[in-house]
Chains A and B, each alone.
Chain A
Amino acid sequence: MKPYMKFGLIIGIVVATLGWLAVGGVKETSTYYKTVAELKDMGDRAQGKRLRVGGDVVKGSIHRNGKEVSFHLVQAEPNTQPHLLKVTYTGSDPLPDTFRDDAQALADGHMNADGTFNANKIQAKCASKYEAKPGQIKPGSEPAYNTAKPSRS
């Protein structure tokens, strides 16, 4: 039985090390995923957390000022007051090609004290690879180009 004891020991060490690394990794990088509305609900609790907020880019709200880009995100949901969030992007990477008016964007960063959002990374969904939500374009309707809105997933 001796070799098996040794195996057990080594396996235990390997697994424990990896587990330790994994727990550390989760603690370091875990990001709370929130929609704009949920973020507003969190209020002060949102301070100091790594956040990822998702919403639609308000048409015409993208402003470039040197390296800084600011825009508004809105949560497009019927029946509720639209929640607006001002986002300032200060990251070094250029914005993705898919980032434009009406695109669905994910912004990573943290809340500023004044209720605006400071993003260091922006992801946007490439619209045409995402297809219409089922039922969004009905086989009966003539599809005007680009009415197929990027869908939510």
Chain B
Amino acid sequence: MENVGALSLLLAFSVAIFALFSSIVGAWRKNLFLVAASQRAVYLVWLLITTASGLLLYGLIEGDYRLQYVALHANKAMPLMYKITAWWGGQEGSLLFWSWILSCYGAVVVFTNRKQYKTLMPWVIAVLMSTQIFFLILNNFVVPPFQVWAIGKGIIALPDGQGLNPLLQTPSMAIHPPMLYLGYVGFIVPFAFAIASLITKQPGDEWIHTTRRWTLVTWLFQSAGITLGMGWAYYVLGWGGYWAWDPVENASVLPWITATAFLHSVMMQEKKGMMKVWNMVLVSSTFFLCIFGTMLTRSGLVQSVHAFGISSIGNYFATFLAIGISATIWLILDRLDFLKSESHLESVVSRESSFLFNNLVLLASCFAVLWGTLFPVISEAVTGEKISVDAPFFNKVNIPIGLFLLFLTGVGPLVAWRRSSTESLKRNFLWPTISMFALMAGLFGAGIRNEYALLSFGLCLFVTVTILSEFVKGSMAIASKEGMNPLMATIELTHRNTRRYGGYLVHMGIVVMFIGFTGAAFNKDVIHEASLGQSFNIGRYELKVTDLKDGENDNHAWMKASVDVFVNGEKIDTLNPERRIYKASRQPASEVAIRRRLGEDLFLNFAAMATQGQGAVIQAYVFPLVGWIWVGFMGVLIGTLICLVPSKHKLSFPRTEVLATATGVVKGNQHAKA
């Protein structure tokens, strides 16, 4: 079994090398047979890696404890779902998972584009396969997943495995890594098309149109992955937060930042033919940051609470990055002539300039996060002392950046291309600005003194009003022209230009998330050692520990506290925070109890047994508005999905009108798109 798995990985490696060379030679010599062969080879690579993955999964599910990977990451008592997720629970398996997703993307790209882009495709395959080869080198020779326990020449089987890390045995951790990987790995597709168009000196922006959906989908996966990770940290780690600026978290957010910058600046290229070099730089840095993030989590380069064990794997990644980055830089410099800008900036108050600033601050944020993450490495290299920076550093830099971005979110879509007149500025921003200051004054009156929180709430309202006014203006026009009711008109409006209005929805989701983030300024926490029957207070809640129960199942032993929650002397809820000890790994874990409400979450953690007598150390938190983060993400999700639906603008005009002003209408429409 393990031999078949290892063999298919080895074969996949050879086939990937074949695919790389046959696509390059095929493109060079214009030999269609070789190009076709390389496409077939891509499918074969997928088939082989799928076989290997299937075998590893089979081992995990059936409990083949002769395999080291299985014994270290699964045990008999684990539920089936976590046996499956153990596939990406450890170094070897998760790298195999990476490889597998990459091969899936490869197969899908080749399948969907095999008839088009005849000149581009061989080079796309070449880029995909170079990366695939790199990961297959790791799978085959550095961290092979099919190692067996052996003494001398005999293979031994263990009676049971160690089990998956308890912290990973939760539903959101089961889907968080696949989401993040889909996002990380997926960015290779836009990158591959970009590189292919550079190599073949394509004149147009074909690669951008081709990869727009890919970019959006992978961006969505990354966002979902990051948000799930936050949700996981919030309810599993029990420290009562969702983001700690840990290097591994930073690694996941870095490519997301550049991808977001790319999504925006790419519009400049589509509409105005500007920033071509910049977009190349962004798409490449996103891809390399994805690889860098993978390296950061696996190499032990920086201290992190989440990182995988130390290994020599970092050197392989560093080599791959060095080669990839220098090749890309050389390619971009060599093709500068093909990336000339077609127009110029005309005014500081214009759509172009808002995109420019959006990119500037996103990149600044990306740089600050990268700098902070690598600070220990940099400082050790320069001064010989390892100095690290903490969450306050990241907050200090990123909160102003976030607020500035929020401001741009409101301003950007409403200023015109090229230049905006003072008149139109007044018309568009009068009410948003007034409502913003009104809210800030109101909140100040209500006793909120935190400047950032005030500004953030104000800006959230500012953006909300601008977005709403866009929807209202547009749908009113449609409603009166077509005689629809307002709701239908809004749907019609969104359908006519899904990119623009879907984008607004994404912005709206981000605004809601910002409201949730701002709530963190008002967090409260209390830690209390409570014996049975004793009560204590946090915020408006009175908490009373009424009971302690214990028990066990095959997988873990547990102890549960019953905590009654009172508000104004009235019992409103009972929460059951729990402590577990997983048997196979002998690791304790907390299962926090959260009373989730939109206004605020009450979060209880059973931190420890009381030091004397019957009782528990309960850590209670109140997190205002934290639920808005998850709600806001749903907005981002729905908005992005809407962006992916094709606009129906061809159907939205009567035929005669189109005939009369065909070019004008189409052009006008394109310019109207945000």
> In the assembled complex, how far is the CB of residue B146 from the closest CB belonging to chain A, in whole angstroms?
12
**Proximity bits, A1-34, B CB within 8 Å = 1, else 0:** 0011011001100110110011011101111111
Decide: B147 and A133 in contact? CB cutoff 8 A: no
With contacts A4-B345, A33-B386 known, is A21 near B397, CB below 8 A?
A: yes
B309 touches A132 (CB 8 A): yes
Interface size bracket, A side:
35 or more
In Å, the complex CA distance between A24 and B393 comes to 8
Judging by beta carbons under 8 Å apart, are B346 and A3 in contact? yes
What string of 1s and 0s marks CB contacts (under 8 Å) between B296-319 and chain A? 000010011111111110000000
A84-110 interface (Cβ within 8 A of B): 92-98, 100, 106
8 A Cβ contacts from B139-197 to A: 147-152, 156, 158, 162-168
Contact at A30–B165, with CB atoms within 8 Å? Answer: no
- Contact at B396–A21, with CB atoms within 8 Å? yes
The answer to the question of B552 belonging to the interface, with a C-beta cut-off of 8 Å to chain A, is: no
Residues of A within 8 A of B300 (CB): 151-153
- In the complex with contacts A127-B587, A128-B162, A153-B310, A33-B387 CB distance below 8 A: yes
From residue 107 to 149 of chain A, which have CB atoms closer than 8 A to chain B?
123-134, 139-143, 145-146, 148
A95, B309: Cα distance in complex, Å: 22
Q: Which of B90, B148, B387 contacts A30 (CB 8 A)?
A: B387
B589 / chain A contacts, CB cutoff of 8 Å: 97
Residue of A nearest to B584 (CB): A145
Contact of B587 among A4, A15, A98, A148 (CB under 8 A): A98
Q: In the complex, what distance in Å separates the CA atom of A96 from the CA atom of B238? A: 8
Query: Can you name the residue of chain B whose Cβ is closest to the Cβ of A63?
Result: B611
- A126, A143, A148, A152: most-surrounded residue (chain B CB, <10 A): A126
Q: Is the CB of B542 closer than 8 A to any CB of chain A?
A: no
Interface residues of B in 344-390 (CB under 8 A from A): 345-348, 353, 356-357, 360-361, 364, 368, 371, 375-376, 385-390
Nearest Cβ distance between residue A29 and chain B, in whole angstroms?
4
Chain A residues whose CB sits within 8 angstroms of the CB of B585 once the complex forms: 127-128, 146
Residue of B at shortest CB range from A100?
B588
Per a CB cutoff under 8 Å, which of A26, A94, A140 touches B150? A140
Bound-state Cα–Cα, A152 to B607, Å: 26
Residue B533 at the chain A interface, CB threshold 8 Å: no
The bracket for how many chain B residues form the interface is 35 or more
Instruction: Judge whether B619 is part of the interface by a CB distance below 8 angstroms.
Output: yes
Q: What CA separation (Å) do A126 and B588 show in the bound complex?
A: 10
Task: Name the residue in B163, B311, B397 with the highest tally of chain A Cβ atoms < 10 Å from its Cβ.
Answer: B397
The residues of B that contact A30 with a CB separation of less than 8 Å are: 375, 387-389, 393
What's the nearest-Cβ distance from chain A to residue B245, in Å?
10
Shortest B215–chain A CB gap in Å is 26
Taking a contact as CB atoms under 8 Å apart, the answer to whether A25 and B307 are in contact is no
The 8 Å CB contact of B388, one of A18, A52, A145, A151, is A52
CB–CB A7/B390 < 8 A: no
Separation of A24 and B364 alpha carbons in the complex (Å): 16
**Does B68 make an interface contact (CB < 8 A)?**
yes
From the candidates A11, A28, A52, A151, name the one contacting B310 in the complex (CB within 8 A): A151
Residue B78 CB within 8 A of the other chain:
no
- Cα separation A139 to B155 with both chains bound (whole Å): 10
Contacts A33-B387, A143-B149, A143-B158; is A106 near B309 (CB within 8 Å)?
no
Kindly identify which residue among B307, B348, B387, B617 contacts A94, using a CB–CB cutoff of 8 Å: B617
- A139-B149 contact in complex given A4-B345, A14-B357, C-beta closer than 8 Å: yes
Give Cα A98 to B582, complex, Å. Answer: 12
Contact A130 B303 (CB under 8 A): no
CA distance A112 to B165 in the complex (A): 36
CB nearest to A130 among chain B residues: B309
- Ordered by A's residue number, 20 sampled pairs between the chains whose C-beta atoms are within 8 Å are A7-B345, A11-B360, A14-B361, A24-B396, A25-B393, A25-B396, A30-B375, A52-B388, A67-B527, A92-B527, A93-B239, A94-B607, A95-B607, A96-B238, A134-B311, A134-B312, A142-B158, A143-B149, A145-B584, A153-B309
Given A24-B396, A92-B525, A146-B585, 5 further pairs, Cβ under 8 A: A33-B303, A126-B306, A128-B164, A143-B158, A148-B72
Shortest beta-carbon contacts, A-B, top 3: A153-B300, A94-B607, A25-B393
